[in-house]
Amino acid sequence: MRHFSDPAQARHAPLRELHNGGWMDYAECPSRLEAMLAKLGPGEPARDFGLDPILAVHDPAYVAFLREAHALWRAAGREGDAMGYVFPVVGRRPLDLDRIDAKIGAFSMDASTPIAADTWAAAYGGAQSALTALDAVLAGDRAAMALCRPPGHHCGADYMGGYCYLNNAAIAARAAQARGLRRIAILDVDYHHGNGTQDIFYGDGEVLFASIHADPKTDFPFYWGHADEQGEGEGAGATLNLPLPQGTDWTGYAPALATALEAVRAHGADLLIVSYGADTFAEDPISHFRLAREDYTAMGAAIAALDLPTLVVMEGGYAVNALGANVSAFLDGIER
Ligand code: Q9C
Ligand code: ZN
């Protein structure tokens, strides 16, 4: 299977994140990309499809903010990474506020998504990787992988969060629709619920969002991903959340996967987009499932049995030393 990435994706390098009230090294680190490339080989470079496919998902004011945030931070006399500390939980509205701290809060859902000097370049490169891999699938490849980093599934149309700035899976889904594919399924197997992707397609009956993730009662992002969230309006029934308890291993995971795959089949999708996270791995440092490497091959094979054109988009996975092998195991399964 061909894979795609952009060298700019390695330039996003926040130093630290707020974790349970203290500072820790930033888990979503540049060496994640290096680790995948070391195992999978250099792959192919992303081509530049421009801003339009990004703006088909994300609010222009949010994109403008992402592009200027770090410069505004520096202009305010700050050092290091731009981070917010005030969030308009109630009454968020388009106030025209100039102070960088006000802008960050308005465009974020958490304080664990810092903006460093090259964050925009990396996020932009990752989105282009997703679009390039999509192009390979639309040109006839049965499957292709975008080694996106930073990841995308936590950010919505106008907010960042959970290490995510641009929603690569959503951008690819909308681009596929612009090229004539109507019915699309997004299967999210990252450890965390893909709240941003869910938000973007919540009222859209053409795009199924099915997610298997740690129960948000115990895990980030807490406020999304509960089983009773099933879509609204035209999208009613086109969101499927399958939360699982901490400690879940393949025995508990496989039935949920079968349920999700049955929903994808029933949706009648022309294209499958997989938001793949390797943070379900037993040794992941910030997560609490117990999948083993060979489980990723079984997961890939079960997905491949759908026999749908498949775009795989990288999300999380923080056991960096195991990341390349875990991604590779998953792709082996898809290629069976
Ligand atoms: N200790 C993805 O896997 N953690 N994002 C917040 C808490 C955020 C994970 C800090 C985890 C986000 C794409
Ligand atoms: Zn995750």
For the chain, domain boundaries: 2-16+26-48+118-334
Other beta carbons within 10 Å of 179: 11
**Centroid of ligand 2 to alpha carbon of 245 (angstroms):** 15
Q: Which of 331, 326, 268 has the alpha carbon at shortest distance from 303? A: 331
Average pLDDT over residues 59-69: 98
Q: Are 243 and 193 in contact (CB under 8 A)?
A: yes
Average pLDDT over residues 303-318: 98
Any atom of ligand 1 within 6 Å of the Cβ of 193: no
Average pLDDT over residues 302-311: 98
Nearest ligand to residue 191 Cα? 2
Ligand 1 atom with least separation from CA of 164: 13
**Centroid of ligand 1 to alpha carbon of 221 (angstroms):** 8
Q: What is the pLDDT of residue 219?
A: 98
Any atom of ligand 1 within 6 Å of the Cβ of 19: yes
State the catalytic residues.
154
Any atom of ligand 1 within 6 Å of the Cβ of 162: yes
Q: Which of 275, 325, 280, 323 has the alpha carbon at shortest distance from 30? A: 323
Upstream peptide bond of 151 is cis (omega within 30 degrees of 0) = no
Q: What is the pLDDT of residue 170?
A: 99
Q: Which of 149, 113, 145 has the alpha carbon at shortest distance from 132? A: 145
As a whole number of Å, the end-to-end CA separation of the chain is 11
Q: Answer yes or no: is pLDDT of 299 > 90.
A: yes
Read off the pLDDT of residues 6-20 as tens digits, 9 standing for 90 and up. Answer: 999 999 999 999 998
Q: What is the pLDDT of residue 89?
A: 86
Q: Answer yes or no: is pLDDT of 127 > 90.
A: yes
Q: Please report the ipTM that was assigned to this predicted complex.
A: 0.97
> How confident is the prediction for the chain on average, in pLDDT?
97
Coil, helix or strand at residue 9 = helix
Q: Answer yes or no: is pLDDT of 221 > 90.
A: yes
The domain made up of 2-16+26-48+118-334 has a fold known as Arginase; Chain A (3.40.800)
Q: Answer yes or no: is pLDDT of 73 > 90.
A: yes
Any atom of ligand 1 within 6 Å of the Cβ of 225: no
Q: Answer yes or no: is pLDDT of 94 > 90.
A: no
Q: Quickly state the pLDDT bin for 24 (edges 50, 70, 90).
A: very high
**Centroid of ligand 1 to alpha carbon of 318 (angstroms):** 10
Give CA angle at 230 (229, 236), nearest 5°. 140
Q: In what order do the strands lie in the sheet with 184-188?
A: 44-45, 2-5, 143-146, 310-314, 271-276, 184-188, 207-214, 239-244
Read off the pLDDT of residues 231-262 as tens digits, 9 standing for 90 and up. Answer: 999 999 999 999 999 999 999 999 999 999 99
Ligand 1 atom with least separation from CA of 190: 3
Which mutation among 23, 109, 192, 281 tests ligand 1's pocket best, with the greatest number of atoms within 8 A of CB? 192
Residue nearest to atom 9 of ligand 1 (CA): 162
Q: Answer yes or no: is pLDDT of 100 > 90.
A: yes
What is the Cα–Cα distance from 145 to 153, expressed in whole angstroms?
A: 16
Average pLDDT over residues 65-90: 96
Q: Quickly state the pLDDT bin for 91 (edges 50, 70, 90).
A: confident
Average pLDDT over residues 119-124: 98
Q: Quickly state the pLDDT bin for 92 (edges 50, 70, 90).
A: confident
Query: b/e for 247-261, b at 16 or more Cβ within 10 A?
Result: ebebeebeebbeebb
